[in-house]
């Protein structure tokens, strides 16, 4: 082995490779210094990156967090400004199990965990959880800000330098356009209602298919295991259901999941979706637009207050 290492080093005497690695270290150091000097530099480019950022902010937060919401993109719509003691660890396009995994990684546990049940059938995204909770990425991100998802140089460059410049240029073009053409010539995209119907139809199709027995067993076993782990750490577990369009709410899959949870966790509190579901039209059948999200957040707050009063 020693011979091999010596042979390797004696053959590996390339100036270009060494110069590249050294320059990268210098560039990395400069970038790290900039980030320490301007800790507010932080950009999220899209939903998937946002998931990483939410998880990293939770994992590396020094403050004690009292309540955590975990769930899918449905719960990301909850208005967090009106729930100051809550942290929203819901991930768009992912499942409740990802949030559960992240919570168990952090040493400090919250008092209450609110688990959204709507998209429970999705399994844990191992690529996502491993890249957050495995020893190497966890420690490097903890020690070096530059490795965190909201500190990407190209994203920050785009957001802080290109974006303001582009918006000024865009404004000028728009002004010129409206001067030249009739103001009425603008958006001609397919009508919002037809798009809504198409997206809702897609959701209806997805929510009509029942989960297989195999899937149900796996899902409930995994959930029981996760809940037991949380309770061992004295964390209260509360289930809740996000409102969806009334046509989807009563389809076979949501009904199946709802009754499964009530049957498998009879001693746990379950905050059902609001009864006045007709108020929740949603933007695509399942996701709440801001005004409906505010309405639901009020409802959730009231329900939580009732639970606390009954304790």
Binding residues for other proteins, rule: CB under 8 A, are: 1, 4, 7-8, 11-12, 14, 16-17, 19-24, 27-28, 31, 45-49, 52, 127-128, 131, 136, 146-147, 151-155, 157-158, 162-163, 166-167, 170, 173-174, 177-178, 186-190, 195, 198-199, 202
Q: Which among 101, 119, 67, 76 is positioned nearest to 303, based on CA atoms?
A: 67
Nearer to other proteins, 46 or 275 (CB): 46
Nearer to other proteins by Cβ, of 109 and 131: the residue is: 131
- DSSP-assigned letters across all residues of 20-79: HHHHHHHHHHHHHHHHHH-TT-----SHHHHHHHHHHHHHT--S---EEEE-STTGGGS-
Smallest gap from residue 133 Cβ to other proteins (A): 14
- Kindly tell me which of 3 and 275 has the beta carbon lying closer to other proteins: 3
Q: How far is the CB of 82 from other proteins (least distance, A)?
A: 26
Spatial separation of the C-alpha atoms in residues 202 and 108, rounded to whole Å: 40
Distance (Å, whole) CA 26 – CA 149:
21
Q: How far apart are CA 128 and CA 94, in angstroms?
A: 9
Nearer to other proteins, 83 or 153 (CB): 153
Q: Cα separation of 137 and 147, whole Å?
A: 8
Least distance between other proteins and beta carbon 282 (Å) = 14
Residue partners of 70: CB distance under 8 A and separation at least 6: 89, 90, 96, 99, 100, 103, 113, 114, 115, 116
Closest approach of Cβ 69 to other proteins, in Å? 22
Is 235 exposed, middle or buried, given 0-12, 13-18 or 19+ CB atoms closer than 10 A?
middle
Compare residues 120 and 146 and give the one whose CB is closer to other proteins: 146
Report in angstroms how near the CB of residue 12 gets to other proteins at its nearest: 6
Q: Which is nearer to other proteins, 67 or 207 (CB)?
A: 207
**Minimum distance of other proteins from residue 153's CB (angstroms):** 6
């Amino acid at each position: 082995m020693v011979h091999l290492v010596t042979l390797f080093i004696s053959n590996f005497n390339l100036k270009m490779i060494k110069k590249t690695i050294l320059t990268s270290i210098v560039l990395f150091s400069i970038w790290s210094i900039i980030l320490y000097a301007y800790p507010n530099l932080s950009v999220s480019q899209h939903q998937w990156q946002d998931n990483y950022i939410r998880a990293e902010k939770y994992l590396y937060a020094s403050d004690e967090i009292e309540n955590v919401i975990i769930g899918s993109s449905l719960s990301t719509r909850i208005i967090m400004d009106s729930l100051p003691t809550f942290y929203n660890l819901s991930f768009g396009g992912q499942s409740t199990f990802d949030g559960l995994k992240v919570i168990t990684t952090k040493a400090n546990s919250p008092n209450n965990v609110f688990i959204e049940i709507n998209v429970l059938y999705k399994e844990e995204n191992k690529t996502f959880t491993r890249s957050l909770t495995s020893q190497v990425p966890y420690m490097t991100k903890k020690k070096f800000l530059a490795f965190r998802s909201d500190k990407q140089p190209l994203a920050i460059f785009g957001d802080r330098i290109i974006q303001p410049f582009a918006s000024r240029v865009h404004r000028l073009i728009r002004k010129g356009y409206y001067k030249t053409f009739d103001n009425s010539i603008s958006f001609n995209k397919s009508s919002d209602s037809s798009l809504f119907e198409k997206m809702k139809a897609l959701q209806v199709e997805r929510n009509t298919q029942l989960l297989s027995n195999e899937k149900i067993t796996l899902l409930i076993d995994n959930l029981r295991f996760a809940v037991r782990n949380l309770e061992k750490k004295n964390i209260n577990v509360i289930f809740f259901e996000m409102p969806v369009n009334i046509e989807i709410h009563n389809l076979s899959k949501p009904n199946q999941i709802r009754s499964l949870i009530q049957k498998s966790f009879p001693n746990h509190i379950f905050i059902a979706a609001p009864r006045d579901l007709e108020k929740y039209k949603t933007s695509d059948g399942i996701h709440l637009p801001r005004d409906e999200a505010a309405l639901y957040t009020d409802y959730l707050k009231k329900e939580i207050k009732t639970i606390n009063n009954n304790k």
